[in-house]
Amino acid sequence: MPIVRERIKILHILWSGRSGGAERFVRDITVYSNRSRFEHRVCFLSKGGAIAEQMTKNSIEIYIIGMKSGFSMSSCARILKVIHEFRPHVIHSHVRNYLTNLLIFLSSNTPKLYFEHGGDLIGANPWRDVLFYKIFCRFFDLILTNSDYVRNKIVQYCDVNLEMIATFRIGIDPQMYKNSGEKKRLKAKFGISEMNNVIGTVCRLVEAKGVDDFIKVAREVQRMRQDIVFLIVGDGEKRATLEKMAVQYDVDIRFLGDRLDVSDLLSIFDIFLFTSKWESFGITVLEAMAAKVPVVGFAVGGAREIIDMGGGVLLEKRDHKKLAELAVEVLEDRTIYERLSAQGYANLVENFHIERSIELLEREYVALL
């Protein structure tokens, strides 16, 4: 391919525009990218959502294909039209949709980058994701994974050329999480006394995130401390079940739903309780560190790689009572609390700053050309 003298055009492929980790990562790419050198557009295969709306407000052109299922043949023409009209220099796929990736490979000799966010590849039944790699990995020019844990899983399961797969650590902007004096107002908004401590989490309400374990740990904490308020930020298919479970366990947990003001809400957290059952990375762990909130949880997947560099304490064994005791200990011992808070923020700035991450990603785009 000849040297590109115009802006380098990147087409991102996502399933939807909801508030998930992959979607937020692509949003941040479009926000922090060098717009004088790169033009980003985003194709949502199914529908829009909160993140899609944010991108539109930031003058990022988006496409919504409207796929009802993963094998909607009627959507083929719309996907091909997007590629034909935009003529990207790099196609950056974030989905394991078979039909879409097949169309990409058959319709264009454009360099193709796949970003592995984890998903079911690290879950209890990864066969569909393994099959995807066995079929498609040879067609990508580069595969990036969000942690060494995920990279090792791909190598373990699939016959992947090690030269074409690398770990890329997602970053966030610590300036977005500075306490701006909103703590008092937000506590009052949610009916939380200034005297109450808050233990919370931010996640999708799906099996992988272990919110049922959050409820069990909250019950143990409540037995030790009556002044703790529990918050869960996020939405998902298990919300009704989890709300019912919280009532059955007699734990006062406030489900705040899917929100875009996570950076503000984290300012009222005292402890970020991480209870995922499997996790490829854990961008919400970074957000807690940015807000200087210690992370206490179970040691799983890519989150372990983050916390090993400072910012929290993770237990190897999934013991609800011990995790509750640890959360209370960190909350009550100010020396430990302040140390974890400072270490987490330093870890974030040094290893997971969004500006450095995007700069490295842009180098990958250029190298592909």
Candidate from 77-91, 124-138, 292-306 with smallest mean pLDDT: 124-138
d(CA 231, CA 272): 10
Greatest CA separation for the chain: 67
Candidate from 57-66, 96-105, 297-306 with smallest mean pLDDT: 96-105
Share of the chain above pLDDT 70, in %: 97
Give 243 or 135, the one with higher predicted confidence: 243
CA terminus-to-terminus distance, the chain? 7
Q: Kindly report the CA angle at 134 between 128 and 139, in degrees rounded to 5?
A: 120
Evaluate whether 207 touches 277 at the Cβ level (below 8 Å). yes
* pLDDT recorded at residue 19: 76
**Across 222-251, average pLDDT:** 96
* pLDDT recorded at residue 70: 67
Confidence band of 4 (pLDDT split at 50, 70, 90)? very low
Burial letters for 38-74: b for 16+ Cβ neighbours within 10 Å, e otherwise? Answer: bbbbbbbbbebbbbbebbeeeebebbbbebeeeebee
Evaluate if residue 3 carries a pLDDT over 60.
Answer: no
Evaluate if residue 180 carries a pLDDT over 70.
Answer: no
Phi, psi of 48 (to 5 degrees): -85, -150
CB atoms within 10 A of CB 302: 26
Confidence band of 20 (pLDDT split at 50, 70, 90)? confident
Could you tell me the domains of the chain? 8-171+353-368 (3.40.50.2000), 174-351 (3.40.50.2000)
The pTM for the full model equals: 0.88
* pLDDT recorded at residue 108: 73
Paired residues of 115 in beta bridges: 144
Phi, psi of 62 (to 5 degrees): -125, 160
Please list the alpha-helical segments (H only) found in the chain. 21-32, 50-57, 76-86, 98-107, 127-136, 148-157, 183-189, 211-224, 239-248, 262-265, 283-290, 301-307, 320-332, 334-351, 354-368
Mean pLDDT, the chain, rounded, equals 91
Q: Encoding tokens for residue 81?
A: 């039209």
Q: Encoding tokens for residue 235?
A: 């939405």
Evaluate whether 180 touches 95 at the Cβ level (below 8 Å). no
Q: Which one-letter amino acid corresponds to residue 67?
A: M
d(CA 134, CA 136): 6
**Across 171-199, average pLDDT:** 87
